[in-house]
Amino acid sequence: MDVQLKIHRFVEGKKWVDTYTVPITTGLTVLNALTYVKEKLDPTLSFTSACRSSICGACAVRVNGNAELSCEVLVEDLLARYQTEELTIEPLGNFTVIRDLVVDWDPKYARIKKVKPTLHPKDDFTSETGCLQSPEDFNKYKKYAGCILCGSCVSECNKNTLNADDFLDPFAFVKAEKLVADSRSKTPAEHLKAVLDAGLWRCFNCQECTAKCPKGLDPAGAIEKLKEATFRHHLDDNVGARHAKAIYDDISESGTLDESKLNIKSEGYFMSALRLPMALRLMNTGKMDPLASHPVNPEIKTIAAIVKAAEQADKEEATS
Ligand code: SF4
Ligand code: SF4
Ligand code: FES
């Protein structure tokens, strides 16, 4: 059996799609298939890879619209997943393409510097004693140390697609959470201030980064942990934190959101006044009624129990 690979080509500003037929052998990965094309069918095709063992992150591409590590994913599995005999292969999204499937990492490396990605150890560590850490403390950030900088998360990040100027790549937040959660660091607040400036609260929470990470690192979860940490470090005098707090208060008290007050609590009266045209549209369509009393959800007891359980789980995680 063969697979048809429709590969997006890009050379010196010219774009086109080439179709290649590759025989499927047992255990054929997408990277094996690309290598077959380059070696047997078309030496002009460009792509990147290095370790071929899912550890260097160099080989990620988009297959049928989803980022994949090409050395890890099997062609047969993809054909079964999409119920097809044809795969479309493109470069990662939200990157500048250099040639064919090769993307430019230089701007991404420059952006990751925004989170101040260096660990500054506490003063009580010395060159004689080293930076000792308990296994429990190590486990708090171990997961995030597994990022292989493959770019799959940013490829599918909806916020980056809309506007990358005021928001970082998801892996940069993973890096920041690794540093903030590291008990050896004396500067977690510095990294938190940096991610706040770099758009922490602008994440859409769409979970695409988490769904696409081949290492299961949960970048969206890292972003939520960073948000939590900003409260612990009293870095919560900003619109995002006030918005989250307003939602938390409304849900805890009544189980429903008070839309007519949410914006005032988040942005203050002046900024809310500037949003009057939108408020009028919401009132016009019946989505908001500032005169109506704020209803209490009939399931408020269940909601209160969920809030309490979540608070307890948070406390246990913080002390574990
Ligand atoms: S959850 Fe946030 S960081 Fe992750 S893909 Fe969505 S917008 Fe991007
Ligand atoms: S967070 Fe996951 S998807 Fe993003 S670069 Fe790191 S390993 Fe790749
Ligand atoms: S080639 Fe290294 S992760 Fe695929």
Q: List the domain boundaries for the chain.
A: 2-102, 104-233, 239-319
Query: Which ligand minimizes its atom distance to the CA of 55?
Result: 3
Assess whether the C-beta atom of 120 lies below 6 angstroms from ligand 3.
Answer: no
Length of the chain as a residue count:
320
Give the atom of ligand 2 at the shortest distance from the alpha carbon of 149: 5
Mutate to test the pocket of ligand 2, among 150, 157, 210 (most ligand atoms within 8 A of CB): 150
pLDDT for res 315:
82
Q: How confident is the model at residue 103 (pLDDT cuts 50, 70, 90)?
A: very high
pLDDT class of 320 with cuts at 50, 70, 90: low
* pTM for the predicted model, two decimal places: 0.91
Look at residue 287 in the predicted model and tell me its pLDDT.
79
Q: What is the pLDDT of residue 10?
A: 98
Among protein residues, the one with the nearest Cα to ligand 1's atom 4 is: 209
Atom of ligand 3 nearest to the CA of 70: 4
Alpha carbon distance 60, 302 (integer Å):
44
Cβ of 203 below 6 Å from ligand 1: yes
pLDDT at 107 over 70: yes
Q: Which of the four pLDDT bands, split at 50, 70 and 90, describes residue 130? A: confident
Q: Is the distance from the beta carbon of residue 229 to the nearest atom of ligand 2 less than 6 Å?
A: no
Assign 289 a pLDDT band (cuts: 50, 70, 90). confident
Whole-angstrom Cα distance, residue 227 to residue 206?
Answer: 16
How far apart are the CA of 50 and the centre of ligand 2, in A?
Answer: 16
Q: Is the pLDDT of residue 178 over 70?
A: yes
Residue 133, Cβ density class (10 Å: 0-12 exposed, 13-18 middle, ≥19 buried): middle
- In short, whether 174's Cβ falls inside 6 Å of ligand 2 is yes
Residue nearest to atom 3 of ligand 1 (CA): 170
Joined together, the tokens standing for residue 294 give: 């704020």
Which percentage of the chain shows pLDDT scores above 70?
99
Torsion sign (Cα): 227, 228, 232, 237 = positive
Report pLDDT for 42: 98
Taking CA atoms only, the protein residue closest to ligand 1 atom 5 is 157
Which conformational region is residue 182 in: left (phi greater than 0), alpha (psi within -120 to 50 degrees), or beta?
beta
| Closest C-alpha to 20, from 100, 80, 86 | 86
Q: Whose CA is nearest to atom 2 of ligand 1?
A: 203
Q: Give the contacts of 272 (CB within 8 A, at least 6 positions apart).
A: 263, 264, 279
Give 104-233's CATH code, choosing from 3.40.50.720, 3.30.9.10, 1.10.1060.10, 1.20.120.530.
Answer: 1.10.1060.10
Q: Whose CA is nearest to atom 8 of ligand 2?
A: 150
- Give the separation between CA 219 and CA 226, rounded to whole angstroms: 11
Region 253-275: mean pLDDT is 87
Token pair 């770099």 is found at 198
- Please indicate whether residue 219, judged by its CB atom, sits closer than 6 Å to ligand 1: yes
Testing ligand 1's pocket by substitution, the residue of 204, 217, 226 carrying the most ligand atoms inside 8 A of its CB is: 204
Query: Tokens 């008070």 map to which residue?
Result: 258
Of 70, 14, 13, 12, which is closest to residue 38 (Cα–Cα)? 70
Q: What is the mean pLDDT of residues 23-33?
A: 97
266 Cβ neighbours under 8 A, 6+ residues apart: 239, 242, 243, 246
Which of 7-16, 43-52, 119-128, 178-187 has the least mean pLDDT? Answer: 119-128
pLDDT value for 307: 92
Which residue type, as a one-letter code, is found at position 73? V
Give the pLDDT score at 131: 87
pLDDT of 106 > 90? The answer is yes
> What pLDDT score was predicted for residue 135?
94
**Is 152 a pocket residue for ligand 3 (Cβ < 6 Å)?**
no
CA of 154 to the centre of ligand 2 (A): 8
Give the residue-averaged pLDDT of 34-48: 98
pLDDT average, residue stretch 39-60: 98
Tokens linked to 92: 């990662």
Any atom of ligand 3 within 6 Å of the Cβ of 49: yes
Q: Determine the CATH number of domain 2-102.
A: 3.10.20.30
**Is a pLDDT exceeding 70 seen at residue 161?**
yes
Rounded CA gap, 89 and 215, in Å? 21
